[in-house]
Amino acid sequence: MEPLSIRCRLGEMMRERGLQNKDVVELTGVSRNTITSLAGNATKRIDYDTLGALCRGLGVTPGDLLEYIPNAKESTE
């Protein structure tokens, strides 16, 4: 299986802003388990409702929250 080429930047954003999981839960209404998984890049998908809640609560766009990382195979072709 190819490595993931989309990375969630939630953990980075939380560190930059000095936010803890509980803060993001309060700002977004997204469950603590989901925040933990997304912040640690331990999930393979994100629901549109979750993405929307994170964007609204944190004042960001999907492009701020998600980063595309080309894998080595793609970058050599």
pLDDT above 90 (res 72): no
Q: How far apart are CA 67 and CA 62, in angstroms?
A: 9
End-to-end CA distance of the chain: 18
Indicate which CATH number applies to the domain containing 58.
1.10.260.40
In a domain, residue 63? The reply is yes
User: What totals of helices (H) and strands (E) does the chain contain, helices first?
Assistant: 6, 2
pTM (whole model) above 0.75: yes
Question: Which amino acid does the sequence have at 68?
Answer: Y
45 lies in some domain: yes
Residue 69 belongs to a domain: yes
- Domain of 44 in residue numbering reads as 6-76
Q: How do beta strands 6-8 and 66-68 pair? A: antiparallel
Domain membership flag for residue 30? yes
For residues 27 and 57, the answer to whether their CB atoms sit within 8 Å is yes
pLDDT higher than 70, residue 31: yes
Q: Would residue 1 count as lying in a domain?
A: no
Domain count, the chain: 1
Q: What is the pLDDT of residue 1?
A: 53
